[in-house]
Amino acid sequence: VRKGVAMFETLEPLAPDSILGVTIAYRRDTSPLKVDLGVGVYRDDSGNTPVPAAVREAERALIGAQTTKSYVGPAGNLEFNERIIALALGPLAAGLADRTATIQTVGGCGALRLGAELVKVARPDTVVHVSDPTWANHEPLIGSSGMRLERYPYFDAARREVAFDAMLSHIDQLPAASLVLLHACCHNPTGADLSPNQWQELAAVIERRGLVPFVDLAYQGFGDDLDADAVGLRTLAGRVPELLLAVSCSKNFGLYRERTGALAVISANSVSRTAVATHQARLARRMYSMPPDHGAAIVARVLADASLRQHWEEEVGSMVARMKSLRALFAARLTARLPGHDFSWVTRQRGMFSFSGLTKAHVDALKEKYGIYIVGSGRINVAGMTPSNMGALCDAIAEVLK
Ligand code: LMR
């Protein structure tokens, strides 16, 4: 050992990540009956996370046609950027194009972080307001930019729905230019979303108070369908002068490990848009230089080819149909086992997650006694259920709730 300063001796090991740590513990468990309802990945009835057939087909074509692996550039695949934002903004995309600067990012996480870094450069004293609760990685990702974070009320735990009045009146008191992080659909972790009318009311308050929405669109197509899940985003984008949008292709394109996403920033005018694009590129260059190409090139192909696109849309439709039928089965089975309890909220929630109300003690008991893995907050990934694990799962939950 060389003499000198021991650089890393000051470091203490960290506790496992609250979500990814569940996957590690699950993988270590040797029981054949174990069930993973932790990390938010879609699964089919055999517990596999499939690559959609349309994505595989686009990937094969891409590999056949690709003649170089030379650099693409800090903004990534420009066709991907245009098409993914058109998918998100729908009919509004064309009219907003001269105010929108889009950069391909390292997944949705990269978009959230890059967006936060951009705001930090533009207005360093900005306070970011996130829902209480929110996805466990939102605060670390955004807070690492150095911006201050605060929480707005979001969830009515007793009724298991959005505490909309409390949310709205809180947001209606925020200072102008505050950043408000909103989940476009399939709220993570609660599964409780705003209705289209509530989005209208919220957008009116955000516009009137001069707030800036930062919309996280990680589950487009997983709530109801691709357009319905973008209603909130489009309502906001149609009204406010400035908006940030983080898009993830992990779930709906099944491209988790390819880290495919985009950050779109809508500015008040095309002059600001040009400046934003240069800052996005510089921030990317300073952090990781350029995004990985593969996933974005696949998505661009799927979205450009009418028949691949239709096939992919059908595949997303069947994923959401499966999750809805699992919710119905889960609610029915739990009600049969615990007739005094109301489980109707399970089918009102949207997307992969169900905020079950299970406490940390319940979660620990489910893991230790039954090999059922759930995030400590009580968030359940509905997509991890299968018709064959449902009976044992509901028995175990009924047992710990008794
Ligand atoms: C989740 O919430 O489980 C997913 O978004 C995956 C992740 O990175 O945490």
* Best mutation site among 22, 26, 39, 377 for ligand 1 pocket (most ligand atoms within 8 Å of CB): 39
38, 21 in Cβ contact below 8 A? no
**Does ligand 1 lie within 6 Å of residue 235's CB atom?**
no
> Token digits for 130?
């996130």
> Quick one: which atom of ligand 1 is closest to the CA of 218?
5
Report CA(21)–ligand 1 centroid distance (Å). Answer: 11
> Token digits for 149?
């974070």
Report CA(283)–ligand 1 centroid distance (Å). Answer: 24
**Helices 164-171/196-209 angle, 10° precision:** 10
Vertex 135, ends 259 and 233: CA angle to 5°? 75
Nearest to 105 by CA among 355, 369, 283, 372: 283
> Quick one: which atom of ligand 1 is closest to the CA of 38?
3
**Does ligand 1 lie within 6 Å of residue 135's CB atom?**
yes
Report CA(211)–ligand 1 centroid distance (Å). Answer: 27
**Does ligand 1 lie within 6 Å of residue 198's CB atom?**
no
Residue of 218, 237, 296, 297 marked catalytic:
218
Report CA(137)–ligand 1 centroid distance (Å). Answer: 8
Contacts 24+ apart (CB under 8 A), 118-122: 118/244, 118/263, 118/265, 118/276, 118/279, 118/280, 118/283, 119/145, 119/147, 119/179, 119/212, 119/214, 119/244, 120/145, 120/146, 120/147, 121/279, 121/283, 122/279
Residue-wise pLDDT tens for the chain (402 aa)? 567 778 898 899 999 999 999 999 999 999 888 999 999 999 999 999 999 999 999 999 999 999 999 999 999 999 999 999 999 999 999 999 999 999 999 999 999 999 999 999 999 999 999 999 999 999 999 999 999 999 999 999 999 999 999 999 999 999 999 999 999 999 999 999 999 999 999 999 999 999 999 999 999 999 999 999 999 999 999 999 999 999 999 999 999 999 999 999 999 999 999 999 999 999 999 999 999 999 999 999 999 999 999 999 999 999 999 999 999 999 999 999 999 899 999 999 999 999 988 999 999 999 999 999 999 999 999 999 999 999 999 999 999 998
Name the DSSP class of 340: T
Measured CA to CA, the distance from residue 52 to residue 318 in angstroms comes to 11
Residue 216 among the catalytic residues: yes
Report CA(19)–ligand 1 centroid distance (Å). Answer: 7
Report CA(278)–ligand 1 centroid distance (Å). Answer: 30
Residue of 36, 193, 216, 293 marked catalytic:
216
Measured by CA distance, the residue closest to atom 5 of ligand 1 is: 40
Residue 318, amino acid? S
* Best mutation site among 17, 19, 382 for ligand 1 pocket (most ligand atoms within 8 Å of CB): 19
- Number of residues in the chain: 402
Residue 364 among the catalytic residues: no
Measured by CA distance, the residue closest to atom 4 of ligand 1 is: 40
pTM for the full model?
A: 0.96
Report CA(65)–ligand 1 centroid distance (Å). Answer: 33
Q: What is the pLDDT of residue 1?
A: 56
Residue 149, beta-bridge partner list: 128
**Does ligand 1 lie within 6 Å of residue 248's CB atom?**
no
Residue 135 among the catalytic residues: yes
